[in-house]
Each structure stands twice: as structure tokens, then as C-alpha cells.
């Protein structure tokens, strides 16, 4: 399984975890994320259903993959 590191405080499996927490995810499972407007990342989703201004929403991960350095023998 791959290892990931949280970028912000998030809830994982019912526990509140702080930034920097290392965790694993089974293959195909989506980890903690927030939904943002695709055209303006970080914007609030106040008018996402306004008929004159349709906006596309995406899930932004709140974690990054931990890349282990290669061990040379």
C-alpha cells in the first residue's frame, strides 16, 4: 500500500488527524478531500447551482504521496 501525508487537519476513520500525519489507503480508495470549483480553486461554492453560471466541481485531495528514497546497496 502507498503511504500518504496530510496537508491539513482532516478526519480519517473517525479520528481527527493533524497536518503531517502519515497514513495508508487501500488501492482505489479516495482519501480526505474537499470539493472546489474547477475554474477557481479555493473559491467558496456559494453559487454552484446558479442556472446562468454553471460551475464544474472537482474533489481536491488534502494529502500527498510519500515518496521513499531509493536504497542502494
Task: Give the mean pLDDT of 4-32.
Answer: 94
Tens of pLDDT, residue by residue over 28-70, are: 888 999 988 777 655 555 555 556 666 678 899 999 999 987 7
What is the model's pLDDT at position 48? Answer: 53
What is the model's pLDDT at position 1? Answer: 80
Q: Where are the domains of the chain?
A: 2-65
What is the model's pLDDT at position 54? Answer: 64
CB 6 within 8 A of CB 65: no
CA-closest candidate to residue 30, choices 56, 64, 61, 5: 61
DSSP string, 38-63: TTSTT---SSTT-TTS---EEEEESE
Amino acid at each position: 500500500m502507498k503511504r500518504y501525508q496530510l496537508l491539513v487537519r482532516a478526519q480519517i476513520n473517525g479520528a481527527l488527524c493533524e497536518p503531517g500525519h502519515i497514513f495508508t489507503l487501500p488501492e482505489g480508495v479516495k482519501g480526505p478531500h474537499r470539493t472546489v470549483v474547477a475554474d477557481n480553486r479555493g473559491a467558496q461554492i456559494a453559487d454552484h447551482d446558479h442556472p446562468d453560471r454553471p460551475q464544474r466541481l472537482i474533489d481536491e485531495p488534502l494529502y500527498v504521496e510519500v515518496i521513499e528514497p531509493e536504497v542502494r546497496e
